[in-house]
Structures are given as structure tokens and as C-alpha cells.
Amino acid sequence: EASAKVIDGKSVAKEIRDEIDVEISRMKDSIGVVPGLAVILVGDRKDSATYVRNKKKSCESVGINSYEVRLPEDSSEQEVLEHISRFNDDPSVHGILVQLPLPSHMNEQNVLNAVCIEKDVDGFHPLNIGRLAMRDREPLFVPCTPKGCIELLHRYGVDIKGQRAVVIGRSNIVGMPAALLLQREDATVSIVHSRTKNPEKITREADIIISAVGQPNMVKGSWIKPGSVVIDVGINPVEDAKSPRGYRLVGDVCYEEASKIASAITPVPGGVGPMTIAMLLSNTLISAKRINNFK
Ligand code: NDP
């Protein structure tokens, strides 16, 4: 019998989109500015195309203009850099997003560094990450997925200050910035990764778990302290003959087991996933407000 409260990312994301919609109308009515997001997609990976399509749809739903550039797989890095440079200079664009992964012949670091920090709505620029890590500094943007995780904790009234938090995974886009954010919120943070000895024991000390690993059902019930709050970022396809697509999506956490032990948990899908896009819209709005000095 499940006892954990379900943290409903889908409905929180909807709430946030509604708030953004109101703010965008207010800005448009008072200074005539509409936020704009530019998305650059290189190559024809199906998953990337789906992500870009969803981002575009979400932009439209709140009144953000989206500008899409699609380049063939064999484009040169120089071409990508030229588009970035054009968007950097374009006053109708407030956020620039390069869909990752890039084709292997491109240098991802060069490309991400080219996005001007004022329009880095993904928050991946080293200057933004550096500021996130430093005391008394403010990043211009916080990476969307970890920001979405913290937003869920806030909106569900979960205390972070002074709590023990464990982040499983240390990627540049999720795990590492999630750990930095939790630390900024005054949690005591441990990071578990592929070389960690006895990850189960460490994770069981956590009041708050954020898992971003990419391994289906890795975090078992025995890893979870009774009453803890579990945020599952993982999105992992597993074979499922009963599904028309032949697979279904599960998280990193064994939901069945965890939902009997945790006090609250995010489902997959419908947890962190919808929050990521909502945070991208939020970052784009923040950027348009800041660039136009609109409060
Ligand atoms: P990465 O592959 O970049 O990073 C995975 C991390 O998990 C690494 O730090 C790795 O450790 C660690 N890891 C791998 N295996 C183990 C293990 N057995 N035990 C402990 N740690 C392990 O993945 P991402 O961070 O990009 O994504 C993680 C998951 O989140 C994926 O399922 C992805 O689909 C999902 N995701 C969901 C998003 C959303 O919107 N909800 C957005 C982005 C990602 P090491 O550093 O030592 O290699």
C-alpha cells in the first residue's frame, strides 16, 4: 500500500505556465515586448527533434516567440557559431538554446561558450555555473532541470535548510548543478556517482534524494530512509510488450518500492519532465525582463 504523496510535476508545470502567461501579457501591454527564444538543432536525431518540437509548442502556449534553425548533420561548427552570433545580436531574441548532443565533429564547449551569457537560458555557460557555485554571487540563469527539481520542493513545502540531501549523478546538466542548488538552499549535500562505494548506505542517510543517473529502477526501497522526499529525474525506456510502442518510460527509482517508504515522490513520467520545459519558459521570461529592465 503506497503511502507517499505524489509530487505532481505536470500540474505544477501547468500552474507555472499560467503564471508566465500572465506576466508576458503584462510586459507586452506595458512596454510592447514579447519574449523570444531561438533554438538551434543540428542533425536529425529523433529524440532531439521531439524535444525541440515540445519546446516550440510550449513557447506558443504562453506567448513566447520561437525561432528555430535546423541544420543538416554535416554542417560545420562555423555555421552553428554564425547563427549563434546572429541571435546574440538580435534584440527580439532573449534566449538561445543549442539542442544537445551536437554531432561528434563539433566541439560542444566552443559552441556553448559562444552563447552570450545574457541569453544563456540553459544556464550551461561556465560563467553561470561558476557563479552558481560561489557564495554571494548570482548566476544569470539556473539550468532548467535542477531548477525544476528545487521548484517542486518549494511548491510542496519541503524544508531544505539543514537537511541531508543526496544527489545521485554528477553530470554538468543535472547532477552537479542540482547539488550546487541544494547547497545554496543550505542543505548538507553528498554526491553519489559511478565510483561511489556503498551508494545504498549513503543514500539511506538522505532526507531529500535527487536521482539523475539514467539506470532504470536502480534506487531500491532499501536505499530510502522512511519519510524522505524523492525527486526522480531519470527517464529510461524499458521494453514493454504491452505498450503499443514496445517500450515504456521509468525513472531511476523503483517507484513501487519507494512509494511505500518515502513521504513524497515524483512519478515518471509526469514529475520532473514537464518542469524542465516550464523552467525554460521561465528563464526566457526572466531574460526578456532583464534585458528590457522591466520589473
Ligand atoms: P549522464 O549520463 O550525463 O550522467 C549520469 C550520471 O550518473 C553520471 O554522473 C554517472 O557517474 C552516474 N552514474 C551512472 N551509473 C551509476 C551507478 N550505477 N551508480 C551511481 N551513479 C551512476 O546523464 P544525465 O545527467 O544527462 O541524465 C540522467 C538521467 O536523467 C537520464 O535518465 C536522462 O534521460 C534524465 N534526464 C531527464 C531530464 C528531464 O527533463 N526530466 C533532463 C535531463 C536528463 P559518473 O560521473 O561517475 O560517470
Q: Domain containing 189 — which CATH number?
A: 3.40.50.720
How many structural domains is the chain composed of?
2
Which of 45, 54, 174 to probe ligand 1 with, by most ligand atoms within 8 A of CB?
A: 174
**Is 288 a member of any domain?**
no
Among 102, 118, 134, the domain boundary falls at 118
Ligand 1 atom nearest 196 alpha carbon: 20
Which of 51, 108, 194, 276 to probe ligand 1 with, by most ligand atoms within 8 A of CB?
A: 194
Let me know whether 161 and 269 are in one domain.
yes
**Is 138 a member of any domain?**
no
Ligand 1 atom nearest 170 alpha carbon: 9
Let me know whether 112 and 155 are in one domain.
no
Atom 8 in ligand 1: residue holding the nearest Cα: 169
Let me know whether 86 and 172 are in one domain.
no
Return the C-alpha cell found at 85.
552570433
Atom 41 in ligand 1: residue holding the nearest Cα: 273
Residues in the chain: 295
**Is 7 a member of any domain?**
no
* ipTM at complex level: 0.99
Which amino acid is it at 103?
A: P
Which of 196, 216, 217 has the alpha carbon at shortest distance from 259? 217
Q: How far apart are CA 61 and CA 83, in angstroms?
A: 25
Give start and end residues of each alpha helix (H) in 134-217.
Answer: 144-155, 175-184, 199-203
Tell me the CA–centroid distance for residue 111 and ligand 1, in Å.
Answer: 22
Atom 19 in ligand 1: residue holding the nearest Cα: 194
**Is 180 a member of any domain?**
yes
**Is 8 a member of any domain?**
no
* 3-state secondary structure (DSSP) of residue 58: helix
Per-residue b or e along 113-135, where b marks 16 or more CB atoms closer than 10 Å to that residue's CB: bbbeebbbbbbbbeebbebbeee
Atom 17 in ligand 1: residue holding the nearest Cα: 194
Helix (H) or strand (E) holding 256: helix 255-261
Let me know whether 197 and 259 are in one domain.
yes
pLDDT tens-place values along the chain, 295 residues long? 679 999 999 999 999 999 999 999 999 999 999 999 999 999 999 999 999 999 999 999 999 999 999 999 999 999 999 999 999 999 999 999 999 999 999 999 999 999 999 999 999 999 999 999 999 999 999 999 999 999 999 999 999 999 999 999 999 999 999 999 999 999 999 999 999 999 999 999 999 999 999 999 999 999 999 999 999 999 999 999 999 999 999 999 999 999 999 999 999 999 999 999 999 999 999 999 999 999 9
Per-residue b or e along 93-105, where b marks 16 or more CB atoms closer than 10 Å to that residue's CB: bbbbbbbeebbee
**Is 248 a member of any domain?**
yes
Let me know whether 166 and 212 are in one domain.
yes
The CATH number of residue 81's host domain is 3.40.50.10860
**Is 130 a member of any domain?**
no
Q: Whole-prediction pTM value?
A: 0.97
Q: Are 133 and 139 in contact (CB under 8 A)?
A: no
Atom 47 in ligand 1: residue holding the nearest Cα: 194
- The neighbour count for residue 78, using CB atoms within 10 Å, is 8
* 3-state secondary structure (DSSP) of residue 200: helix
- 3-state SS of the chain: helix, strand, coil percent to 5? 45, 15, 40
Let me know whether 151 and 266 are in one domain.
yes
Let me know whether 209 and 105 are in one domain.
no
**Is 24 a member of any domain?**
no
Let me know whether 101 and 158 are in one domain.
no
Tell me the CA–centroid distance for residue 237 and ligand 1, in Å.
Answer: 14
Q: How far apart are CA 259 and CA 224, in angstroms?
A: 10
Residues annotated as part of the active site: 55, 99, 122
Let me know whether 200 and 255 are in one domain.
yes
Let me know whether 149 and 253 are in one domain.
yes
Let me know whether 107 and 156 are in one domain.
no
Domain limits at 98? 32-118
Ligand 1, pocket residues at CB < 6 Å: 145, 168-171, 173-175, 192-195, 199, 212-215, 218, 233-236, 272-273, 276
Let me know whether 244 and 190 are in one domain.
yes
The residue assigned the cell 530512509 is: 225
